[in-house]
Amino acid sequence: MEEFMQNRELSWLKFNQRVLEEASDESVPPLERFKFISIFTSNLDEFFMVRVGSLFDMMKSKKEFIDKKSGMTAKEQLDAIYKTMPYYYEMRDKVYKDVIKELEKYNMHNKNMKSLNEEELSYVKSFYLSKIEPLISAQIVDAAHPLPFLENKKLYIVTEMWDADGNIAHGLVAISDIFERYLSLPGDEFNYIRVEKVIEHYVPTMFPGYTIKEQSLVAVTRNFDFETNTDIEEEIDDYKDFMKKVIKKRTRQEVLRLEISNTKSRSITDFLKEELAITDEMILVTKSPINMKYVYGLEDIIPSSVIKKVSYEDFNPFKKYSLERGSIIKRIEEKDLLLSYPYDDIDTFLDLIKEAAESDKTISIKITIYRLAKHSKLVEYLKKACDNGIEVTALMELKARFDEENNINYSEELFKAGCNIMYGFEEYKTHSKLCLITYKDDRENIKHITQIGTGNYNENTSKIYTDFSLMTANEEIGLDANDFFRNMSLAKLNGKYLHLLQSPSTLKARLLKEMDKEIAKGKDGYIRCKMNSLTDYEFLEKFAEASQNSVTVDLIIRGICCIVPNVKGFTENVHVSSIVGRFLEHPRVYQFGRGSEMRIYISSADLMTRNTEKRVEIACPVYDEEARARLVSYLDIQLKDNTKRRILLNSGDYIKPGVEGEALIAQDYFMQKANEKREKFYEGLERDKIDEAPKENFFAKIKKIFTK
């Protein structure tokens, strides 16, 4: 245990609390606040399925696992997590209640059966009888009818009831996933009712001969953490089939959490506690909806005039390079392009792939794929390239958590189109974002365009995640990328390159070496890193060493942060900021030094041990001066954010910085700059049109006058 380090799980919970704080921020539009509650809930679901699941596995292991950073055993971490949960649930319940009241000001009402008017009640009754009742599955739970398997995060209604003889029994009603999550109600207002509320109302009709004493809405969360090196691996030869079996297996893991709607019935909780083999702390009472994914669908029932009042102002990414038309490849040959999502549009990269797919000069397209949109333009362009006889290679990672099935389906689709498919490695996820286009120029010389990104090739998330995408014609970087793909095809993970850094081989060592260079400068040294999470023990020690040598260390970390700043004798010169806002902060940028001596990298890797030692990641130095200046400016603005930015204290808590001068929100600033660039671009087009218009000479003007 180190004085300047903290537990990763508890740090993550603090981050998720920041998400919930956005939901409580009255300056955020009410529907967006509603979405933040949904994000908080989804985050917590995944946290239990993966992180809590992992701790359970450790606790059950014969080997004792102790967190080096906090000195806590797996059980101690679990105890600490469960201890905090009632606080977070109460906080969410309060924020949920406040947001519901705020939305009512815009005639948007979340109704229950008692609050329906006659028209609404008639509509709901008709809908229930025609669409829901025929599909309802209800059963008695007793010795002859044991409690069935409760699926992960599926909603159920559990009842306590008496039969005609006064005997106590329990009932179970499964709420099918095929039901809509809410019903839009008739009338002039924008009212809705959640489907589970409708089903709860009709539960007494489902158990004839019984009297309902109590009923509660419940859902279980199961352990979704899994290791792929299981016994079933030896039974199969096809890795894709193996992953399908693993996905199926994990859905039946043990229960980690029981969420139950607000109830006074101890009988129901005792019944489920015994049936599911869980403890009291694993039972969490909620007044908020257990499943909140329906929130995003509410936009469909709200007129556009109202949407504008309850949502963020529309923002469209700037599409400069797409709007200019012409060859993207030619532009990159002239100058590196650095895109900043969502302020720039991913269409520029997609246009690059489309151009390459349609060109008879293109030899090959090679790409690593981790997550894709449900309807991916990228996949369509890669298939088009195959159709045109271009060699296409895709390294598909099938272990992208919760996207496994999507990636399996896309890998099959690309394979059928003629694409060469490689899968990620058994023990190493391929998380890198790298694309290489090999082509011939007009003189038949072999050339390369390389794209390196910090985020996925996903058209949807590029609109809500902030990320960087560098496209360069630097031949040495292109040759590095070519060597990388060759190494991946040979299952060679120890590749070394002239410019690119790769984990698990060189990335960690090189970044530590860069830090050593700044440490050698003492008080003149400077280190600035932006990432999602920081957990790697060696980096934590190195940041502390830098601080002890008077080096200024600025860290911008969205989520997990295992270093504790401002600990006397250890981290007085370490400053940690976190930004949670409209967009999910996602870039990884590593800056060492300032001015002409600065080295700056973009990467797919966080400074987490899983990234630096257990994943295939790529980091790339940025050489183009304009691109370097843009990255530095980006980081500068983020550290000037005095509204959405939070500062981490040595207590582990986050506080708002003091506001000096005008309020600044970094993401708003970048949106404004994108809009200004767009306006300037279109102004330039209008001027060009005027300049290019044919000029009338003097005699032509005189002729026009007399011919009127």
268 to 217, 263, 277: CA distances (angstroms): 10, 9, 14
Phi, then psi, of 607 in degrees rounded to 5: -90, 65
- Bridge pairing between strands 434-440 and 362-369: antiparallel
Distance CA 50, CA 63 (A): 20
Quickly list DSSP for 2-71. -TTB--HHHHHHHHHHHHHHHHH-TTS-HHHHHHHHHHHHHHHHHIIIIIIHHHHHHHHSSSPPB-TTT-
DSSP bridge partners of 220? 152, 258
For residue 229, the model assigns a pLDDT of: 40
Q: What are phi and psi of 152, to 5 degrees?
A: -60, 125
pLDDT value, residue 423 = 87
What is the pLDDT, as a whole number, of residue 228? 41
Q: What is the pLDDT of residue 239?
A: 44
Could you give the C-alpha distances from 700 to 692, 693, 705, in angstroms and in order?
18, 15, 9
pLDDT digits 0-9 by tens, 77-120: 999 999 999 999 999 999 999 999 999 999 999 999 999 999 99
**Local structure of residue 76 (DSSP, 8 states):** H
pTM, two decimals, is: 0.90
Angle (CA) 377-378-384 rounded to 5° is 90
Tell me, what's the pLDDT at 410? 86
Could you report the per-residue pLDDT of 50-73, keeping only the tens digit for each? 999 999 999 988 888 899 999 999
Distance from first CA to last CA of the chain, Å, rounded?
92
Which one of 145, 170, 201, 431 is the catalytic residue? 431
What is the per-residue pLDDT for 425? 82
Q: For residue 704, give every residue at least 6 positions away whose Cβ sits within 8 Å of its Cβ, in sequence order, or none.
A: 696
- Integer angstrom CA distances of residue 152 from 138, 223, 252, 255, 269: 18, 9, 8, 8, 18
Residue 145 annotated in active site: no
Report the chain's C-alpha Rg in angstroms.
29
Question: Which residue numbers in the chain have pLDDT < 50?
Answer: 227-237, 239, 242-243, 250-251, 698-699, 701-703, 705-706, 708
Query: Which residue type sits at 552?
Result: T
- Output the average pLDDT for the chain: 91
What does the alpha-carbon distance between residue 145 and residue 139 come to, in Å, rounded to a whole number? 8
- Between CA 442 and CA 453, with CA 448 as vertex, the angle to 5 degrees is 140
Q: Which of 211, 214, 176 is nearest to 196 (CA)?
A: 176
pLDDT at residue 696, rounded to an integer: 55
